[in-house]
Amino acid sequence: MAKQRILLVDDEPRVTRLMRMHLESTGAYEVKEENSGSRALAAARQFRPDFILLDVVMPDMDGGEIAGAIAADESLKNIPLVFLTATVSKEEQGIIAGYPFLAKPASGAQIIECIQQYLGPMPGPGSQPDVAASAGAPPPDWNIQRFYGATLVAVALAGVGYLAYWAFTRSQQSQQATIRELQDTKKEISSLRSSTSEAVRMQQRTIDEQQKSMADDTLTLNKMKAIENRLEETLQAVEETKISILRSAGVSPALLTSIAPSVVKLYCLSNSYSDNVQKGSGFLYRGSRNNPRLPLYYVQTNLHVIKMEDRADADCRILVYPDYTDSSTYLLFKSRGYQSYGDTIDIAYLDPRIVNDLKAGTGNDLMVYARDETVAPACDPTNIGDHLSIFGYPGVGGETLTVTEGIVSGFEIEERKRYVKTSAKIDHGNSGGVAIKDSGCVVGIPTWSRSGKVESIGRILDLNYLRNETLKYVTLR
């Protein structure tokens, strides 16, 4: 019986390699790996799989866009597709973008069970001869031989020697055929033993790789525990803060209430060798096809807020407040690393991930509290005299989410970037937050800088200018 064809799409080669080795060790599946989201559609067209496992969050092309392309292809649209994602917990069930999902990390048994839900039980290795019957039971022509033997005796008694010779010849031919059948059976048994031994060796290699991976993960976990301890004291202080009632002269209360949960607080390590923690703000977005290289959910902030002094991978905790009037209720996420356009542009993107904590947020929480890009577009145009409001968590004046107001007082062009100058107060803590006009469109990212020793200058990185002019010359990495 033909093997069922499985296509695995994930940007982590180690993950797809372990899944492929586990599936192929069953002898029931033919598996193809693809570690680039942008090549997934071409791989599906060439491989013609019976089933597709597809990662949701990939750097070059997210799973939702790939699934849409597959659904639009007449030759591929009927292939069962299941998402693999680490943005949900194992207890969650539901649909992402119209497709079922399987939470990472998934065991080999869970993956096979998921495949069988759509393709049925694993196909067997094919019908094999009944070796015991062939070796122990009489040859199929034995009764005929006995008849011939009796006939030979009767004919011999009758003196018909020719018939005796003819029956003897047939008996010899039958015995030779039986011997050939037994030899073929022995070959098949030997082949089965070889294939079984190979399957055992493959399984052992899988176990060895998993053990090595577990050892590597243990080292990583030990490092992560040390980092967790550094951030724990900072997060405990959050429990005692008070969140003020937000007001803005130009922005409606309904818009304030809608935007507030998307403004997040960030705690990031200053470097990888000390306990120093730096604080800032960010804005939680739900992505679209306009940003195919960004994850489905991401936090936009200033690069200087999250970047480590020793250039190690950024390590941050992300706090989302569903009710900005209650500081004790927040949802915790974490982020390792970031994407940016390089050191010359003060903008970065974090990928929020699920944590193991009593206050941990879920994938559904990201869906609820992230601001859709299309609902919060960049302002076009921004003019001198426009009224604006800045959301963030300033370090001066406490830990509360605040809104400062002002007007657009001018513009600065600096190395193909435009900054909006404003009379609104921007403090170190609310760097990375969001500045909006009264209509709800986004002016840009508040960026803190010093003038002299005390005063801070209000500057906002203009997002509309950035997208239409600056990003023509740089690439997200």
Q: For every residue of 377-430, which 3-state class applies, written as one string? A: CECCCCCCCCEEEEEECCCCCCCCCEEEEEEEEEEEEECCEEEEEECCCCCCCC
Q: What angle do CA 65, 66, 72 make, to 5 degrees?
A: 90
Q: How confident is the model at residue 78 (pLDDT cuts 50, 70, 90)?
A: very high
Q: pLDDT value at position 294?
A: 85
Which region among 208-222, 378-392, 455-469 has the lowest average model confidence (pLDDT)? 208-222
CATH 2.40.50.100 fits 253-472, yes or no: no
- Token pair 């993950």: residue: 15
pLDDT in tens, 4-62: 999 999 999 999 999 999 999 999 999 999 999 999 999 999 999 999 999 998 988 98
Answer positive or negative: Cα dihedral of 250, 252, 253, 259. negative
Q: How confident is the model at residue 355 (pLDDT cuts 50, 70, 90)?
A: very high
Q: pLDDT value at position 9?
A: 96
Q: How confident is the model at residue 436 (pLDDT cuts 50, 70, 90)?
A: very high
Q: How confident is the model at residue 138 (pLDDT cuts 50, 70, 90)?
A: very low
In one letter, which amino acid is 100?
P
Count the alpha carbons within 13 Å of 172 in the hemisphere toward its beta carbon.
6
What average pLDDT score do residues 405-429 get? 86
Fold adopted by 4-119: Rossmann fold (3.40.50)
- The reported pTM is 0.52
pLDDT in tens, 33-48: 999 999 999 999 999 9
In one letter, which amino acid is 304?
H
Give Cα 16 to chain centroid, integer Å.
12
Q: How confident is the model at residue 277 (pLDDT cuts 50, 70, 90)?
A: confident
The answer to whether 400 and 416 have CB atoms below 8 angstroms apart is: no
> What percentage of the chain exceeds 70 in pLDDT?
75
Nearest to 337 by CA among 105, 16, 59, 84: 59
What does the block give as tokens for 462?
């203009």
pLDDT in tens, 301-353: 998 888 888 887 888 999 999 987 777 788 999 998 888 888 889 899 999 99
pLDDT in tens, 212-241: 877 776 665 566 566 566 666 656 655 554
